[in-house]
Amino acid sequence: MNPAESDTEAQLLKSLPEHLAPFGTERSNLIPILQMVQKHFSYLPAAAMEIVARHLDIPLAEVYGVATFYNQFRFTPPGRHPIKVCLGTACHVKGGDIILENFERKLGIRDGETTADREFSIERVACVGCCALAPVALVGETVHGNMAPSKIEGLFTRIQVEKEMAQRKKRENEPDA
């Protein structure tokens, strides 16, 4: 996590109790509360889970028990470039699992994890609605169809080039010190 992200997360944690107040303290509100927390942080940070447990006056294990039951919740922050690999039927038949494995090997993380620098995360997803392009992967909002292991390296090169161009543009727009 870079310092700016860690500051933002600290600020969000600080303001969490005031966002919890409108939900009241009924334990039946746990799921809407977890949804709100995930909306704020894009995942469920451990520190936020503790605040939720205290707010509802229930054991932390119960909060985790409910959160882990539903696959809508994630416990690691998404990367700045979230990678979603489709493993719906059409993509699976065309080797989606091999694409997933190649992304995992390239980044050194598994499905559901995020790289230490928070640049990339990998997630398997169900059909994303463009089966004609199977196998499909998404990087951010961009759909990459007819994926093949040989295309993965080029995809990372493109992300790196785009990042460098954005940084250069930012520097050019900065007023001279």
Residues that bind ligand FES (CB under 6 A): 86, 88-91, 127-131, 134, 136
Q: For 63-136, list the strands marked E by DSSP.
A: 81-86, 120-125
From residue 3, how far is each of 7, 8, 9, 75, 167 by CA, in Å?
6, 9, 10, 20, 18
Nearest distance in Å: CB 114, ligand FES: 23
Task: CB nearer to ligand FES: give 58 or 90.
Answer: 90
30, with CB counted inside 10 A (0-12, 13-18, 19+), is: buried
The residue whose Cβ lies closest to ligand FES is: 88
Nearest distance in Å: CB 172, ligand FES: 39
Nearest distance in Å: CB 130, ligand FES: 5
Nearest distance in Å: CB 132, ligand FES: 8
Task: CB nearer to ligand FES: give 66 or 138.
Answer: 138
Q: 132: which DSSP letter?
A: G
Task: CB nearer to ligand FES: give 104 or 119.
Answer: 104
Residue by residue, DSSP assigns 144-175 as E-S--HHHHHHHHHHHHHHHHHHHHHHHHHSP
Task: CB nearer to ligand FES: give 19 or 92.
Answer: 92
